[in-house]
Amino acid sequence: MTFKDMMMGNSPYVSQYQDAPNDMRQRADHLCWQLNQMDPNVQEARQKILMQLFETSENLPFVAANFHCDYGFNIHFHGMALLNDNVTILDSSPVHIGANAFIAPGVVIACAGHAVLPEQRVAGIGNSAPITLKDNVWVGANSVITAGTTIGAGSIIGAGSVVTHDIPAGVIAVGSPAKVVREITEADRVALTQF
């Protein structure tokens, strides 16, 4: 089993940093740099870079300015998604992003972590676990989604929240750590103004 195989698996893992595939990370750094230098109006050229970065031509998201990821190949979109400005995805494990996900400016999705004991951190020991955002999730601005968590379908994470555990479907969760404050109900439907 290669390090990349381990990274692409759905199980948490522990490793030493020097084992990480730096060539793949450098490739992603370069592609992100190219993407972030482009005029936002040249969508066809941006899509070509996204196809290389995510290693797919299906379900490509809209990605706004200043996007960064560690590898790209470990980010999987299951339908159209919107990634707003300054989104960072540390994809040392699989990140699954459901259809119609809205990821607001400044969001960090971090599969990677570090050892708690200082001597292990200094020795380069880290850990990683997958993250899943189900369909129709909205993650508010400047939120952080941590390793090993799943956000259920249709849920909203309030701005500035830190998700450290699974969030069920159909709820609003806010805070650090994020806690469910209520369910989303029909009473939340917005009445449109007719022109």
Question: Reduced to 3 states, what is the DSSP secondary structure of residue 114?
Answer: strand
Beta bridge mates, 1: none
The two tokens of residue 145 are 């989604």
Task: For residue 137, give Cα distances in angstroms to 39, 98, 151.
Answer: 28, 7, 7
114 is catalytic: yes
**DSSP characters over 144-160:** EEETT-EE-TT-EE-TT
Exactly one of 30, 68, 114, 165 is catalytic; name it. 114
CA-nearest of 31, 152, 133 to 77 is 133
**DSSP characters over 89-122:** EE-SS-EEEETTEEE-TT-EEE-EEE-SSHHHHH
Residues with a known catalytic role: 114
